[in-house]
Amino acid sequence: MVKGFSENEGKNEDQIKDSKKEKKGLASFLKGKKFTYTLPGKKQINIFGSIVLGLNMILLLLIILYLNNQKFHDFIFNVGR
């Protein structure tokens, strides 16, 4: 008996063909569609950058208030309960 190969190779081919059935659901809907990705423009980059920087500045301001102002610290502590 030769090692490594079985005599029933035909059965494996049938299993492979069964696994390549038609796709269903979202995959079949997207099968014919072509999606393209375009890089964001300069205006869009500036808008998102401004939003990120603005939110970071607000976060830093709140951290400074939390550490230096006892009333704000108590307010945040009580709201978090």
Q: What is the pLDDT along the chain (81 residues), one digit of tens a residue?
A: 556 665 655 555 555 555 556 667 777 777 777 777 788 899 999 999 999 999 999 999 999 999 999 999 999 999 987
Enter the DSSP assignment of 40: -
Dist CA 73 CA 13 (whole Å): 69
Kindly report whether the global pTM for this prediction surpasses the value 0.75: no
Q: What's phi and psi for 62, nearest 5 deg?
A: -65, -35
Enter the DSSP assignment of 7: S
